[in-house]
Amino acid sequence: MDTLVQLLDATVRVSVPLLLACLAGLYSERSGVFDIGLEGKMLAGAFAGAAAAAAFGSAWIGLSAAILVAVFLALVHGFASITHRGNQIVSGVAINFIAAGSTIILGQAWFRQGGRTPSLAGDARFQTIDLPGAAAVSDVPVLGPIYSDIISGHSILVYFAFFMVPFTWWALFRTRFGLRLRAVGENPAAVDTAGISVTWLRYRAVIITGILTGVAGAYLSVAQNAGFVKDMTAGKGFIALAALIFAKWKPVPAMFACLLFGFLEASSIRFQGMDWPLVGRVPVQLINALPFVLTVILLAGFIGRAIPPKAGGVAYVKER
């Protein structure tokens, strides 16, 4: 029971950056702008967050810096793929490289700790929050540990991430903005005909993507860890992308996909080198590769078909 609680607790922790990045991608891709650059924006956000938090001693300033930098990169992506109708994949790849390189170079130049930022403590980090009554109910069997260990005792960004799931659902399916956002990803010409600016709508989607990837980055470096380590996203942006496809571009399934991938990651750490009955020792590399293998199988249409937004990846040309 204890192992399971710890495992699920760890699952929540490692799922959060995936979930934030996944929802970030959801806004952008639903509007018809593919985003391979989630990874890079998250990485740049993590670096900016940790650097600003270290410099100013405030986690909130760190978060703001992370959001600013990630939004800037998102706007670069928008500028290339919306305004100049460049190839969205190419632009995303470029952003990943720019983020990967500049976080290392700037980190080394500013802090001289081999690409790390100084370690954060106290107010410079998001502290865990104990939900009301967590200590009181912890002795209650089953439900007690679930509430006090798994649900309570996380940083505020964790709650923000899970709050964003119903919020995104509401924004996408119950508001005018959401309807237009989905429409512009399916049929931009129709949106244009209705007198709504495709460009501005897509830019807004891309900015939301930037904000959420910035929060994801800040979570990595200012909440989950106490500082930035080079290449700390380690493919999370791509796993988030995989989760997005897995979830067929829907917010609630996205949460479950991220929790699944998070569970895989948490158990790969937990059960490293353990012997299993029947199968023996499962190589840790296999578990690490599992999210990617699963995604490939899903993409191949063996677990239900994933149909992307129809206008995704195509720049909108108003007139010829």
Partner 1 sequence: MATPYAKLPAWADYGLIPLINLFVAFAVAGLVVLLVGESPVQAATLLIKGAFGSGAGIGYTLYYATSFIFTGLAVAVAFHCGLFNIGGEGQAYVGGLGVAIVCLSFDSVFPWWVNFPLAILGSAAIGAFWAMIPAILQAKRGSHIVITTIMFNFIAASLMVYLLVGPLKPMNSMAPQTRTFAQDAWLPKLDWLLEMFGATIRSTPLNLSFVLALVMAVVVWVLIWRTKLGYEIRTYGFSPKAAKYAGIGEARIIVITMMISGALAGMMALNPVMGDQHRLQLDFVTGAGFVGIAVALMGRSHPAGIVPAAILFGMLYQGGAEISFVMPNISRDMIVIIQGLVILFAGALEHMFRPSLQAALASLAPKSMGMNAAKREGA
Residues that bind partner 1 (CB under 8 A): 36, 76, 79-81, 84-91, 93-102, 104-106, 108-110, 235, 238, 241-242, 245, 283, 285-286, 288-289, 292-293, 295-296, 299-301, 308, 313-315, 317, 320
Q: Which is nearer to partner 1, 58 or 108 (CB)?
A: 108
Smallest distance from partner 1 to CB 161, Å: 23
Smallest distance from partner 1 to CB 319, Å: 9
Q: Which is nearer to partner 1, 110 or 160 (CB)?
A: 110
What is the rounded CA–CA span in Å between residue 262 and residue 109? 33
- Residue 194 structure tokens: 């209705």
Q: Which is nearer to partner 1, 136 or 296 (CB)?
A: 296
Q: Which is nearer to partner 1, 10 or 243 (CB)?
A: 243
Smallest distance from partner 1 to CB 90, Å: 4
Residue in this structure with the two tokens 């405030």, named with its chain if needed: 58
What is the rounded CA–CA span in Å between residue 259 and residue 278? 27
71: Cβ contacts below 8 Å, ≥ 6 apart: 207, 210, 211, 214
Please give the full DSSP string across 246-279, using - where no structure is assigned: HTTT-HHHHHHHHHHHHHHHHHHHHTTT-EETTT
Smallest distance from partner 1 to CB 272, Å: 13
Q: Which is nearer to partner 1, 8 or 239 (CB)?
A: 239
Cα 198 off chain centre by: 25
- Residue 242 structure tokens: 């995989």
Are 294 and 246 a contacting pair, CB within 8 Å? yes
- Residue 159 structure tokens: 């709650």
User: Which amino acid appears at position 146 of this protein?
Assistant: I
Q: Which is nearer to partner 1, 44 or 181 (CB)?
A: 44
Q: Which is nearer to partner 1, 60 or 79 (CB)?
A: 79
Burial of 96 (C-beta count, 10 Å sphere; 0-12/13-18/19+):
buried
DSSP state of 302: B
Smallest distance from partner 1 to CB 108, Å: 6
Smallest distance from partner 1 to CB 58, Å: 23
Smallest distance from partner 1 to CB 104, Å: 4
Q: What angle do CA 198, 200, 205 make, to 5 degrees?
A: 95
Smallest distance from partner 1 to CB 33, Å: 12
45: Cβ contacts below 8 Å, ≥ 6 apart: 66, 67, 69, 70, 213, 214, 215, 216, 217, 218
What is the rounded CA–CA span in Å between residue 210 and residue 27? 10
Q: Which is nearer to partner 1, 241 or 254 (CB)?
A: 241
Q: Which is nearer to partner 1, 174 or 310 (CB)?
A: 310
The CB density around residue 176, as the number of other CB atoms within 10 Å, is 8
Smallest distance from partner 1 to CB 235, Å: 6
